[in-house]
Amino acid sequence: MTTPEPVADSPDPWVADHIRRFEETAGQPRPGISDLLLTTRGRRSGALRRTALVYVRDPGGEAYVLTASNAGADRHPAWYLNVAADPAVTLQVGAGTFAATARRATPAEAERLWPVVVAAMPSYAGYREATDREIPLVLVTRTG
């Protein structure tokens, strides 16, 4: 029997607390908001990293849509850089965990999905205005 590879939770105290609440509530830490846990492989360390994110479902497909907003900062979030380096990820949605593949949305997909994302989380509109950086949308689809 092999020992599972350790997973490091986000070092950000708010995110680490959110992950703890996610686990305690079987994936429902904030009623009315769709949250998931994303596990990526660190692009430099090779270690597994986990963060909590808001998602929407692509109304035109099966993908989970993630927003690499980094709260409007001028740099991409670490999880996005990790996904760009290695698109094989793990998602935990509710109590279920599964393997998935992530990719950046095409410009046409992003244009179609941005209103859906903002409708679910209006603060994303402000994040977009706060930075000169294009905020990528990431489509994640189940592989396992």
Residue 114 binned pLDDT confidence (cut-offs 50, 70, 90): very high
Instruction: Provide the whole-model pTM.
Output: 0.93
pLDDT higher than threshold 80 for residue 144: no
20: which residues sit within 8 A by CB, 6+ positions away?
Answer: none
Query: Residue 112, exposed/middle/buried by CB under 10 A (0-12, 13-18, 19+)?
Result: middle
Separation of alpha carbons 59 and 42, rounded Å: 30
pLDDT of 32 reads: 86
DSSP letter at 71 equals G
What six digits make up the tokens of 86? 């290695």
For the cut 80, the answer to whether the pLDDT of residue 90 exceeds it is yes
Q: Residues 32-41: what's their mean pLDDT?
A: 95
> What's the mean per-residue pLDDT of the chain?
93
